[in-house]
Every structure is written in structure tokens, then in C-alpha cells.
Amino acid sequence: MAGRIRNEDIALVRERASIADVIGEYLQLRNAGGGNLKGLCPFHDEKSPSFNVTPSRGLYFCFGCEAGGDVIKFVQEIEHLSFSEAVERLAAQAGIQLRYEEGGGRGPRQDGGQRARLIEAHKAAAEFYAERLQSQEGSIGRKFLSERGFEAADAAHFGVGFAPREWEGLVRHLRGRGFADRDIIAGGLAKEGRRGPMDRFRGRLMWPIRDLGGDVIGFGARRLYEDDDGPKYLNTPESPLFHKSSVLYGADLAKKEIARRRQAVVVEGYTDVMACHLAGVQTAIATSGTAFGDDHIKILRRLLMDQDEFRGEVIFTFDGDSAGQKAALRAFADEQKFVTQTFVAVQPDGLDPCDLRIRHGDAAVRDLVASRLPLFEFAVRSAIEQHDLDTAEGRLAALDAAAPVVAAIKDRALRQMYAVSLDRWLGIMDEQFVLRRVRELAARQHAARGRGGPQGRANGPQGRPNGARQGNGGSAGGDVQTVPERPAFDPNDPDVQRERELLKLAVQRPALLGPGFDEVPAEAFIAPPHAAVRAVIAQAGGVVAAGAVAEWVARLLETAPNDQVRDLLTKLGVEPVRSAQESDDRYAVELLARIQERQLTRMIADTKSKLGRLNPVERPEEYNRLFGDLVALEQQRRVLRERGLGSL
């Protein structure tokens, strides 16, 4: 069995795998100045972006939850992979052939981690299904697509395929490619039968479902034969790869347009996604076998970089039937979890985007999206439409049905505006009456939330104190500290802050400091974490041996003795330097001089203390030596002060 990946190959992966491109597959990044990029953190919920990426140093760090590391660490965390699996995945994307310490290279099918093997198996399955769509048996699938306005090129673009009506067609194919039965079953491609594994999907049109990185992780399958007594749509079951509550079909194709247009269009089915994209609405995505929920919201917010500015749009399109309206009203409960503006687009004649495109063309699909209504308005109007507004009794009943919807709007100003609109839509012509009714219901709902709302609001989304982060190693019980230890130093102490600034330069711009920094010992730093970082820098050869910055940072991270020091190094590598100087060189000189001067002052005080305890008559040689040391130290400090320490 192959051993560990060679260090030089790991270094090559770090060099070739652009951290900005890799992270950009999962969230929208924007220029934050100084060569840094910023986005919404994928590891915790936040409204304002605190997730920073520094491509020049190959690092990311979130100042909200303190998650950080290099490109390999990011892939590990976001995809729940081991270190080796993350390296192998990045190497495959970069076209790097990895070498192992014991023996030659290997393929993920034989020895790699489970996730890598399952990804390979799904890729092979997608190719198998796509080929079978072109077979004679696959003509039923081609006919289905043609009747819905899709050509062969469209099917190829979305990777649509066909599962033959065989019990073991895919199983035999994957076995022939070297995949083990256990992985074929674990990935949901087959299920255990009385005689061994048998294909899960048979006689169906197949849509590959990809993650944001473009890897196939599951399938959506549409029934084609009348004698098939299974469900109309059958999806991959929950697996190590596929978690339907956090998968958006088409997001791999739509993510760049979503970020560019700041718009996401949520449709109901695979053919609707295809129809929208082909009609020019290339921001369309769909859920995969489940209702739109919290995890889907998190994905969209990251892609939109959703903030408080209300610039983005999430547009839900539903069938115009009662089921579609119920789906829209369910989405209303989630709307306020978006900071972005949310809309609903429903075709009056009940056509979904796919059927709309067939009957009325591409322009009709674009018009449907353009005709969107704010979700709040749609919810209120849906409640009103159930009643006869030609009678006083009907208008009052409609008010009682719609008022709770308006009262549920958390934004007070928006709630007031919709209350005024409600009066106009009902034709009551008594704003104060309607406003009082809405206020009464809003007060009741607020009181109900106060009595029965969730406890522990001080905790973050994972039940940990806000800002706390669960470690990667050790037992689950030992990673979380509900009461953090008090630091042995004051982080707001100007001397401690200068230390931090100096260490930032040592990590980010070591050439500015030169050998002078390497002469400052670790014990010169007040804060113990800073001393630990200084020790790592010394162990890595000092700043004089730094070389290229990205390689230097990688060397420091590898040298770090534990996760705490590694996390601090990552943070120091991403935090902007607070230089207010015209010259960074001057800022570096002054910071270093401050730390050196402080160290000399300590040494002077220590030498004076020793002199005070000595009797010059009894021990003249030792006394004279220490006195000479004191004179030299005083001279060094005077030179530093004459050099000028600026305003630091």
C-alpha cells in the first residue's frame, strides 16, 4: 500500500492550487483592498463578511469564527476530507501526478479515502448514463427531452443520461472499472439485493447532481415507462456525498451568474432549470428532492454575498396551482432569514418554466422572472384572494386572514407599509382600523415568541458561544470551552499591539525586517502566544531565510507545534498591517526599534539589579564586567532613541 504523499508534491499542490479560485467555487469573493479578498464565511452564519482570503500568502481567515488555514485546510473543512484526500482532490484538479513515499502513485479507486473513491465512481456512472442515452434503448429518453424542447447539445451540456432497464448494468460497468461493491452501494448507485448489488436506477432519465466544485455527488431520475410503479422522480439517497438538504441542482453552472447579477431564481425541477438557462435566465437552480430550507439559504447567501444593503434578489418560481402557492407560502417563513430581497414569480395560467418555454418561447420565461412580486406582497394577496371582497363580511374575513401575515413581518417600517397597502387592497378605506388590527396581532405574536422562543440566544448556530470554534483534534468534549481562560496579558496594551504588528510583518513581509528581527529572542515578547510565534519563526530559519512569501508561510504553518499557534500564524498572515506611515520600511524599522528598546530596558534593569547585589571590593572582576555590560547596553539604547522611534 502506498505511503504518505511526498512533501515536495504537497508543496507543489499548494503552489498550483489558487486559493482564490478554489474558495471562489463556494462563495463570492470581493476585492477588500491590499490584495485581500472578502466574502461571507462558509463555516458560520453571518450578515456582514468577515471571511478574508490573501492569495499572495495562500491563506484564509475568518475574523468571526476564527476558522483559517491554507487551500488544503479549506478543502478539508468544506468537504469534510482527510488531509490526504484534500491533497489528492486538489492535485487531480491541477493535473498533478502525486508520488508516495512507499511505492508509486495510486488512484483513488484503490487506496484513497472513501470520498475520493465515491467521487470517481459517480463520475464513471455519469459517463455511463450519458453514453446509454445515445443507445437504441435510450431513444425513449431522447424522445422525452425532445418533446420538452431540448436538443442533444442541451442534454450534453447538463450531462443528462439514461439508466438502462437492467438489474446490474451499472454495477457490472463499475466493477469492470475497478470499483468495489461496498463503494457502489455506499454512494447510493446500487442497493443490496438477494444476489448481491443491483442498480438503484433502471429505465429512467438521469440528471447528474454536482456540488459547487463541479463533482458529481448524486443523481435525479425521472420515470419514463408506464409500467414503472416507482415514484415519478427518484433521487440518490443520503450518502457520504449527497445530503439533499444542502444541495442545489444547477448551482455549479449558475454560481458565477448569481454572483455577477446578484440574483438567484429558485425553480422546482430539473427540466425547469434547463429551460431557464437555455432561455437566458442562467441564475436558475432547484432543490433535489426536498423543500427549500435553511441549508439552501446558507448556500445562496454565500453565492450572493448577501448583506444589509438589500441589493440582491432571490426569486421563487412555483406552479400556479394550489400546491405551488403553498410552496410559496412555506418559503415566506424562511424569507426573513434572507437579508436580500425575495420575490415570487407565478405564471397565471399555471405553466412551469419548462412548459412555458415550449408553448411561448424563451422570451416568456424571461418575462415570467421579470414579473416577480415581493414575497411579502404575494403572501398577503394569496390570503386575500380566498375571500369575497364584494361584501363587508368578506373584507373583514380577508383582513383577519391577511393581518397575521403582515404582523409576522419583523421589520417595523415594512410592516407599517404593508398594513397601509392591505387597507387599499381590501378596499376598507380605514387605515387606522387596519393598522390597529395588525398591531394587535404583532404584539400577540411577539409575546408568544417571548414565552416559547428558543433558549440560549447567546450561543452561535452550532450551540457554541459566538466566536468559539470547535477544534479538529481530540475528543468532542474537550474542544469547547464555555468560559474562555483569561489571557495572561492585555491585548489592548500598546506594547502587545506593537508585538502583533511586528509579527505580522515577519509573516507577511519578512524582507522588511532583515537580521535585526532574528536577533530579538522569543522572551522579548510580552504575550506568550507572540513568543510562541517568534519561536516558530526562529525554528523555520528566521526571516533572513524566508524566501518567497507563500513558501515561507507554508513553512511556518508546518513548523507550528499545535493548532493554537498555527491558527495565530494564519491570522497574522491575513490581518492587514496597520501602518499609518508613508513608508512601510520606516514602519518596520520603528516597530523593531520599539521591541529592541524595550528588551534593552529590561536587560539594563536586570543588570542594575545584579550590580546592586554585588560588593565591588569582594568581587571586583565580576562587578567591572557587569558595569561594562551596563555601559554597552545604555549606549545601544541611546542609539535606538537617537534613530527616532516615531509616533509608535
Confidence of residue 406 (pLDDT cuts 50, 70, 90): confident
Instruction: Compute the distance between CA of residue 329 and CA of residue 325 in angstroms, rounded to an integer.
Output: 6
Q: Report the DSSP beta bridge partners of residue 163.
A: 204
Any idea what the CATH number is for the domain that residue 293 is in? Answer: 3.40.1360.10
Which of 207-216, 267-276, 421-430, 436-445 comes out lowest in average pLDDT? Answer: 436-445
How confident is the model at residue 490, as a pLDDT? Answer: 81
Quick one: 507 and 637 in the same domain?
yes
Residue 354 pLDDT more than 60? yes
Which of 90-104, 113-127, 424-438 comes out lowest in average pLDDT? Answer: 90-104
Confidence of residue 133 (pLDDT cuts 50, 70, 90): very high
Which of 71-75, 89-93, 335-339, 513-517 comes out lowest in average pLDDT? Answer: 335-339
How confident is the model at residue 307, as a pLDDT? Answer: 61
Quick one: 505 and 635 in the same domain?
yes
Instruction: Compute the distance between CA of residue 442 and CA of residue 403 in angstroms, rounded to an integer.
Output: 9
Quick one: 280 and 404 in the same domain?
no
Quick one: 517 and 574 in the same domain?
yes
Quick one: 578 and 633 in the same domain?
yes
Instruction: Compute the distance between CA of residue 602 and CA of residue 70 in angstroms, rounded to an integer.
Output: 38
Quick one: 125 and 225 in the same domain?
yes
Instruction: Compute the distance between CA of residue 232 and CA of residue 222 in angstroms, rounded to an integer.
Output: 6
- Using the 3D structure, point to which of 195, 221, 242 is the last residue of a domain: 242
- Using the 3D structure, point to which of 326, 352, 375 is the last residue of a domain: 375
Structural domain boundaries enclosing 402: 386-450
Of these ranges, 81-95, 177-191, 314-328, the one predicted with the greatest mean pLDDT is 177-191
Judge whether 461 lies within some domain: no
Confidence of residue 324 (pLDDT cuts 50, 70, 90): low
- 421-450: average pLDDT: 81
How confident is the model at residue 455, as a pLDDT? Answer: 41
Instruction: Compute the distance between CA of residue 410 and CA of residue 606 in angstroms, rounded to an integer.
Output: 63
Instruction: Compute the distance between CA of residue 175 and CA of residue 177 in angstroms, rounded to an integer.
Output: 5
Judge whether 480 lies within some domain: no
Closest to 126 in 3D by CA, of 31, 223, 236, 45: 236
Which of 250-264, 419-433, 546-560, 594-608 comes out lowest in average pLDDT? Answer: 594-608
Helix 251-261 × helix 294-304 angle, to 10°: 50
Any idea what the CATH number is for the domain that residue 18 is in? Answer: 3.90.580.10
Q: Report the DSSP beta bridge partners of residue 263.
A: 313
- Higher-confidence residue of 574 and 638: namely 574
How confident is the model at residue 216, as a pLDDT? Answer: 96
How confident is the model at residue 342, as a pLDDT? Answer: 85
Q: How many CA atoms lie within 13 A of 55 on its CB side?
A: 19
In the block, cell 488531509 appears at: 83
Q: How many domains does the chain have?
A: 5
Confidence of residue 458 (pLDDT cuts 50, 70, 90): very low
Helix 563-574 × helix 494-508 angle, to 10°: 80
Map 293-307 to HEC letters.
CHHHHHHHHHHHCCC
Quick one: 505 and 637 in the same domain?
yes
How confident is the model at residue 193, as a pLDDT? Answer: 85
- Using the 3D structure, point to which of 94, 125, 149 is the last residue of a domain: 94
Which of 339-348, 537-546, 610-619 comes out lowest in average pLDDT? Answer: 610-619
Q: Which three cell numbers stand for residue 362?
A: 424563451
How confident is the model at residue 116, as a pLDDT? Answer: 81
Judge whether 390 lies within some domain: yes
Judge whether 615 lies within some domain: yes
Any idea what the CATH number is for the domain that residue 163 is in? Answer: 3.90.980.10
The number of beta carbons lying within 10 Å of the beta carbon of residue 475 is 7
Which of 224-233, 386-395, 593-602 comes out lowest in average pLDDT? Answer: 593-602
Instruction: Compute the distance between CA of residue 440 and CA of residue 645 in angstroms, rounded to an integer.
Output: 65
495 contact partners, CB below 8 Å, separation of at least 6:
526, 594, 598
Instruction: Compute the distance between CA of residue 564 and CA of residue 245 in angstroms, rounded to an integer.
Output: 33
Confidence of residue 276 (pLDDT cuts 50, 70, 90): very high
The conformation of residue 244, written as its DSSP 8-state character, comes to G
Closest to 119 in 3D by CA, of 70, 189, 190, 29: 189
pTM for the model: 0.67
Cα separation values, 282 from 304, 336, 400, Å: 14, 25, 40
Q: Classify each residue of 180-194 as buried b or exposed e, where b means 16 or more C-beta atoms within 10 Å of its C-beta.
A: eeebbbbbbbbeeee
Residue 624 pLDDT more than 90? no
- 633-644: average pLDDT: 71
Closest to 121 in 3D by CA, of 236, 10, 227: 236
- Pairing of the two strands 313-318 and 341-346: parallel
Quick one: 370 and 394 in the same domain?
no
What does 494-554 look like in DSSP terms, one character per residue? HHHHHHHHHHHHHHH-GGGTTHHHHTS-GGG-SSHHHHHHHHHHHHTT-GGG--SHHHHHH
- 140-148: average pLDDT: 97
Instruction: Compute the distance between CA of residue 259 and CA of residue 273 in angstroms, rounded to an integer.
Output: 17
- Residue 178 backbone class (left: φ over 0; alpha: ψ -120 to 50; beta: rest): left
How confident is the model at residue 320, as a pLDDT? Answer: 55
Instruction: Compute the distance between CA of residue 527 and CA of residue 618 in angstroms, rounded to an integer.
Output: 40
- 70-74: average pLDDT: 93
- Residue 94 backbone class (left: φ over 0; alpha: ψ -120 to 50; beta: rest): alpha
Judge whether 34 lies within some domain: yes
Instruction: Compute the distance between CA of residue 26 and CA of residue 214 in angstroms, rounded to an integer.
Output: 10
Judge whether 484 lies within some domain: no
Confidence of residue 454 (pLDDT cuts 50, 70, 90): very low
For the chain, give the percent of residues with pLDDT over 70.
85
- Higher-confidence residue of 283 and 114: namely 283
Of these ranges, 55-59, 290-294, 311-315, 429-433, the one predicted with the greatest mean pLDDT is 55-59
How confident is the model at residue 486, as a pLDDT? Answer: 38
Residue 233 pLDDT more than 90? yes
How confident is the model at residue 321, as a pLDDT? Answer: 58
How confident is the model at residue 639, as a pLDDT? Answer: 73
Q: Which three cell numbers stand for residue 171?
A: 454495477
Quick one: 255 and 238 in the same domain?
no
Which of 96-100, 241-245, 281-285, 387-391 comes out lowest in average pLDDT? Answer: 96-100
CB 637 within 8 A of CB 601: yes
Instruction: Compute the distance between CA of residue 57 and CA of residue 459 in angstroms, rounded to an integer.
Output: 33
Summarised one tens digit per residue, pLDDT across range 462-493 is 333 333 333 333 333 333 333 334 346 788 88
How confident is the model at residue 331, as a pLDDT? Answer: 61
Judge whether 466 lies within some domain: no
- Looking at every residue in the chain, the average pLDDT score rounds to 83
Judge whether 107 lies within some domain: no
Quick one: 86 and 124 in the same domain?
no
The conformation of residue 5, written as its DSSP 8-state character, comes to B
Quick one: 85 and 151 in the same domain?
no
Instruction: Compute the distance between CA of residue 380 and CA of residue 419 in angstroms, rounded to an integer.
Output: 10
Phi/psi at 30 (5° precision):
-125, 155
Summarised one tens digit per residue, pLDDT across range 365-374 is 999 999 998 8
Which of 154-168, 315-329, 534-548 comes out lowest in average pLDDT? Answer: 315-329
- 204-223: average pLDDT: 94
CB 113 within 8 A of CB 84: yes
For the chain, give the percent of residues with pLDDT over 90.
37
Instruction: Compute the distance between CA of residue 436 and CA of residue 439 in angstroms, rounded to an integer.
Output: 5
Summarised one tens digit per residue, pLDDT across range 86-115 is 898 899 888 888 888 764 444 443 444 688
CB 56 within 8 A of CB 550: yes
Quick one: 437 and 499 in the same domain?
no
